[in-house]
Amino acid sequence: MPELPDLEVIAANLAPRVVDRTIRGAEALHPAFLQSTDPPLAEMEGRAIEEIWRRGKYLLFRLTGGLLFAVHLMRAGWVWHGASRYSATKSTVFRIELDDGNDIRVIEAGFPKLTRGWLLSSLDQGPLSGLGVEPLGEEFTLERFAAIVSGKRRQIKKVLVDQKLIAGIGNAYSDEILFEARLSPFRYAHTLSPAEIERLWRAIPEVLRWAISEIKARVGDGLYQEEERSFLRVHGRAGKPCPRCSTPIGEVLLSGQRTDFCPHCQHVDELPPRSGSRGDRGTKDKP
């Protein structure tokens, strides 16, 4: 699933191709894609694209007149830009025709089709209304992060991926952030000391900005079809040596999500109850 770094690069690479172009038409090619009916889809026609950016895990298009188009790529969606003359395939779930003879298309191969879109009048509507703080924004202060974390009797990884608390971090980058902060993903948030909270707060934007630069270095100006994560240090590397200490990376299923960690660097000694594992240790910190 695309996370904050992926979407930042997609927005940056798509914008030079389509900003200031006028929309000739928009068409939902899968019945479940468009999740809003007011304003109607026809309202996109004749409007120019003013800006493309990201909010949480949503790719946003600002159109003239204040209209917003939000896209969630879910697990396997991606964005294509190319000539309108090419026929839409069965994998195309949404299509925007532009005045320069090109299309923006949302593509999702296979079934079920999970990508979703919303046409909105403001940022406080639809799925955007309940999103948490942006971890790369000025509002992401230590004080605000401490208020989010302090006292929560939830494992810290679950706090990081809760979109109502912090917007944009998912499974992969929560693993990388916790590795950078040298914290067990199984620690409960209320057990973190002030120093650990600050260390985690500093690790979040550091890892996200690092990932954006790594992705950009690999994909250049292209619109890529799959997440570029070859540079990650722990996520997806179960059984491989930790880049810091060479201990084999451990893996468990935490609430159905693959969670990867270094047992040594992240002080993980005992697995949490009822978790399947591919590592030999878990956490010493219990609630």
Amino acid of residue 16: P
For the stretch 58-69, pLDDT in tens is 999 999 999 999
Q: What is the DSSP string of the chain?
A: ---HHHHHHHHHHHHHHHTTPBEEEEEESSTTTB---SS-GGGGTTPBEEEEEEETTEEEEEEGGG-EEEEE-TTT-EEEEEETTSPP-TTEEEEEEETTSEEEEEE--SSS---EEEEESSTTSGGGTT--B-TTSTT--HHHHHHHHTT--SBHHHHHT-TTTBSS--HHHHHHHHHHHT--TTSBGGG--HHHHHHHHHHHHHHHHHHHHHHHHHHTT---SS---TT-SSTT-TTSBPTTT-PBPEEEEETTEEEEE-TTTTT--SPPTT--BSSS---S---
Reading the chain (287 residues) residue by residue, the pLDDT tens digits are: 799 999 999 999 999 999 999 999 999 999 999 999 889 999 999 999 999 999 999 999 999 999 999 999 998 999 999 999 999 999 999 999 999 999 999 999 988 999 999 999 999 999 999 999 999 999 999 999 999 999 899 999 999 999 999 999 999 999 999 999 999 999 999 999 999 999 999 999 999 999 999 999 999 999 877 788 999 999 999 999 999 999 999 999 988 889 999 999 999 976 665 544 444 433 434 33
For the stretch 156-170, pLDDT in tens is 999 999 999 999 999
Domain ranges for the chain? 4-128, 142-261
Q: Are 181 and 206 in contact (CB under 8 A)?
A: no
142-261 placed in CATH 1.10.8.50: yes
pTM for the full predicted model: 0.92
Question: Do the two domains 4-128 and 142-261 of this chain adopt the same fold?
Answer: no
For the stretch 102-145, pLDDT in tens is 999 999 998 899 999 999 999 999 999 999 999 999 999 999 99
Highest CATH level, class, for 4-128? alpha beta
